[in-house]
Each structure stands twice: as structure tokens, then as C-alpha cells.
């Protein structure tokens, strides 16, 4: 990932202080200890390797609480090898759960934006989908709705159809009214206590949609048709 060019600076001759101003996209790394590696040669590279221990611990904590809510005990260990990791937020591939280091650091610092919480919960839910009896074709929509349930809004535009369809179905079945659990703090037991009934309802919904001849394809087609009509009117 190319993030531009920066100059190496020094605070003064003989001071030993060397600075490199990083791009704004990396502001979450401020204060993190970094390992410095020099790759010598004709085109030398200086590699900064930030310590992501806090983010890893955050991901493991989220995994544990989500697993307790959806899978029960004993809780499977956090399967780090099953995830793709990246520094900046993005919508992962449908078949691969993606965790963002920036999100993990934000939550660890108790400064989590709601979307960071939603993205992390969705990634973990994506990995659990198969163990919950949810069809592979619905694993990504299921994960999106779990993230939506956690904060009451859509974190990625790609989530919109899944969340709209599920919200309408849950409003009919369990009186779903949207909104976010309070407090919106994934480090709080109260947050998970409030979120668990929503997650179980989402799980039951998608497990039902995973059965043969389910209503989901027709609901998706109807959503797309309605969206097309809205756009044409606009």
C-alpha cells in the first residue's frame, strides 16, 4: 500500500533524534511502540513494525463474548489464522472475514466509533456462521446484520440490502425497533447482555433462510426492485 513520500528529519546534529512524519491515515498508531528493521542493500528499506498486541487482545475479547452469545460454552479460542488483517477499514471479501487493526486499536483505547464495533462484530460473526447452521451464501449477509444489530446503523453501503431485509422481517417477528444497545461499549457486560437477544433473533432468522425454498431470494429480488423504482423516481 503506497501512502506517499515523507522526509526523515532530525532534531539537531548529534541529538540522535530522528523523526518521520507519517500520513494522516496512520494517526491511530500514535504512541504505539514500533520495532525498527533495516533491510540493507542497493535499495535499503527501513521497516516500522507496530506492536498490535492491544488490538489482538481486543479482537479475542470480542470473539469470546460473541461466541458466548451465539455458540454457548465451551468457547472456541480466537482463530486468528482464519481472518485477513489490514491496517485500514474496508469491506472484506464475501468469503473471508476481515479485521482492521485501526478498529481494534480504537476499541482498545475506549474511543471506539460505532462503526468500528460493528465491523469487528461482523467479521467474527462471519467466521461463526457455518457453526450456526447458516448457509455459506448467507454468511456475509448474516455477518452484516449482526454488525447492524450492534450499533443500529449500516457501517458499509454493501450491508444496506441485507440490513433492510432483515430489519423488516424482525420487525414483524419480534417487534424489532432498531437503535443501538446501551451502553455502546463492547467492554461492558451490559452491552452484551442487551445485544444477545438481538443476535439470537438474527441467527434464527438466517438459519431459517438457509433452508431449501426459503423466502430470502424473493425478498432480495423485491428489495432490488423497490430500490430500482426509488432511483428511477429520483
DSSP string computed for 102-149: HHHHHHHTT---HHHHHHHHHHHHHHHGGGGT--GGGHHHHHHHHHHH
What is the 8-class DSSP label of residue 8? Answer: E
Question: pTM for the full model?
Answer: 0.88
The predicted structure's pLDDT at residue 154: 93
DSSP calls for 165-192: HHHHHHHHHH-------SS--TT-HHHH
Helix (H) or strand (E) holding 10: strand 8-10
The predicted structure's pLDDT at residue 9: 78
Below-70 pLDDT ranges, the chain: 1-3, 11-16, 111-112, 231-232, 234
Cα–Cα distance between 37 and 34 in angstroms, integer? 10
The predicted structure's pLDDT at residue 15: 67
Amino acid at each position: 500500500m503506497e501512502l506517499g513520500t515523507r522526509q526523515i528529519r532530525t532534531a539537531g546534529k548529534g541529538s540522535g533524534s530522528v523523526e518521520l512524519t507519517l500520513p494522516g491515515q496512520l494517526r491511530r498508531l500514535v504512541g504505539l511502540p514500533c520495532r525498527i528493521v533495516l533491510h540493507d542493500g542497493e535499495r535499503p528499506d527501513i521497516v516500522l513494525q507496530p506492536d498490535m498486541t492491544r488490538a489482538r487482545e481486543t479482537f479475542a475479547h470480542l470473539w469470546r463474548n460473541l461466541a458466548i452469545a451465539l455458540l454457548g460454552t465451551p468457547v472456541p479460542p480466537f482463530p486468528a489464522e482464519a481472518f485477513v488483517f489490514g491496517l485500514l477499514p474496508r469491506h472484506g471479501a464475501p468469503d473471508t472475514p476481515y479485521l482492521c487493526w485501526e478498529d481494534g486499536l480504537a476499541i482498545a483505547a475506549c474511543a471506539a466509533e460505532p462503526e468500528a464495533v460493528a465491523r469487528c462484530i461482523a467479521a467474527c460473526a462471519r467466521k461463526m456462521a457455518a457453526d450456526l447452521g447458516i448457509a455459506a451464501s448467507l454468511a456475509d449477509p448474516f455477518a452484516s446484520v449482526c454488525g447492524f444489530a450492534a450499533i443500529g446503523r449500516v457501517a458499509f453501503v454493501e450491508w444496506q440490502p441485507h440490513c433492510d431485509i432483515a430489519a423488516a422481517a424482525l420487525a414483524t417477528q419480534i417487534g424489532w425497533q432498531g437503535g443501538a444497545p446501551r451502553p455502546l461499549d463492547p467492554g461492558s457486560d451490559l452491552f452484551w447482555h442487551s445485544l444477545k437477544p438481538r443476535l439470537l433473533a438474527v441467527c434464527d432468522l438466517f438459519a431459517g433462510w438457509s433452508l431449501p425454498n426459503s423466502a430470502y431470494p424473493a425478498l432480495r429480488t423485491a428489495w432490488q426492485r423497490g430500490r430500482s423504482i426509488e432511483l428511477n423516481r429520483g
